[in-house]
Structure formats: C-alpha cells, structure tokens
Amino acid sequence: MSDAIQIRCLQTIGEREVQGLSDVLIDCVEGGASVSFMLPMTRAKAEAFWRTTAASVARGERVVLTAEDASGRIVGTAQVILAQPENQPHRGDLAKMLVHRRARRQGIGAALLAAAERRALSAGKTLLVLDTASDDAERLYGRGGWQRCGQVPNYALFPDGTPCATTFYFKFLHD
C-alpha cells in the first residue's frame, strides 16, 4: 500500500468524517455491495447511519477505522463492534469493511483488516466474527488467515433486490 494512505482510529466522528464516510458507503452500495442498504442509496440514509455509529463510538461500543489519502479524503473504513452480551466478552464483530471503488486493489482493505484486528486485540478481544456477501472480501479474509465457516443461502439482498448468500468467518487473535 502507498505510504500516502494513513489508517486512523477515530476517537470522535465529526461532520467532516460523517461526510467522508457517507461518500464511501454510498459508492459501495451503488457499486452493488450488500452492506445493509438498498437502492436508492440516499445521502440522508448514509448520514443517519454514520451519526448513529458516531454515538456508538462515543459510548465505547465500537471502534471505527478510516483510510485517508494524501489529501485527507476518506477512501475506506472498517469497524469492530466491541459491545457484546455478557457471556461473550472475548468476542467482537468485524463490520462495514468498505473501500471506495476508485481506491481498491492497492492493499487498503488488507491494511484496514490488520489494523482492526490489532485494535480488537488491544481492546481484549481474542475472537472476531464476520459475515460477507462479497467474493472480493472472501479472498481478502482468506489471505488474512480467517477461517470460513459456511454459507447461508438467501440470507440478505443485494442493493437491487436480488437475493444473496452470506458467508460466515472467524479468526482467533493473539500477540
């Protein structure tokens, strides 16, 4: 990955971050990613999602990472959801791994994944779980040492309404 890309862990999510993160989310959904949203993907839906996420970060429930280019523009993001039921204190969920289409295939996804794992471990997590409906993401997680559990057919929808299967992964974390 280029040295010009910086991975940051956001302590707070302000208006600048909400706008940059919304740009990435909208681009990914318009590009066909199955990441909770349907078309039409409006800016209002994206901003509402990131404002809710910002409040969750402020409560310490999750961490949000960003990848920024040399001009400070957000080009990618990933989250670790730390808040879990009391019988799963060691587990976190990896979520919303998103890289803008114009910034893909440069190693940003891999860098966000590695940073998310480090953050999860330093927060005391020893197990991460995720699900994905993306072949590109499946290769990324496989390269990162994640274990594929299996696939649930018809789990969700692509943004255009087509049903999609979802594949579940886990990874044990250690120093």
Q: Does 73 bind ligand COA (CB under 6 A)?
A: no
Query: Which listed residue (33, 41, 81, 128) binds ligand COA by CB under 6 A?
Result: 33
Contact status: 139 vs ligand COA (CB under 6 A): yes
Q: State the number of CA atoms in the 13 A half-sphere of 75 facing the CB.
A: 23
Q: How far does Cα 119 stand from its chain's mean position?
A: 13
For position 41 contacting ligand COA by CB under 6 A, the verdict is: no
Per CB under 6 A, 108 contacts ligand COA: yes
User: Binding ligand COA by CB under 6 A: which of 134, 146, 159, 167?
Assistant: 134
Residue 78 CA to residue 135 CA, distance in Å, equals 17
Sequence-ordered strand ranges (E) for the chain: 6-9, 62-68, 74-81, 91-99, 127-132, 147-157, 163-172
What's the closest the beta carbon of residue 41 comes to ligand COA, in angstroms? Answer: 12
Identify the sign of the CA torsion 67, 105, 167, 148: negative
Give the residue, chosen from 59, 102, 105, 174, that forms a contact with ligand COA under the rule CB under 6 A.
105
- Decide if residue 144 touches ligand COA (CB under 6 A): no
Nearest distance in Å: CB 86, ligand COA: 26
Q: How far apart are alpha carbons 48 and 61 in whole angstroms?
A: 17
Among 30, 45, 91, 110, binds ligand COA (CB under 6 A): 110
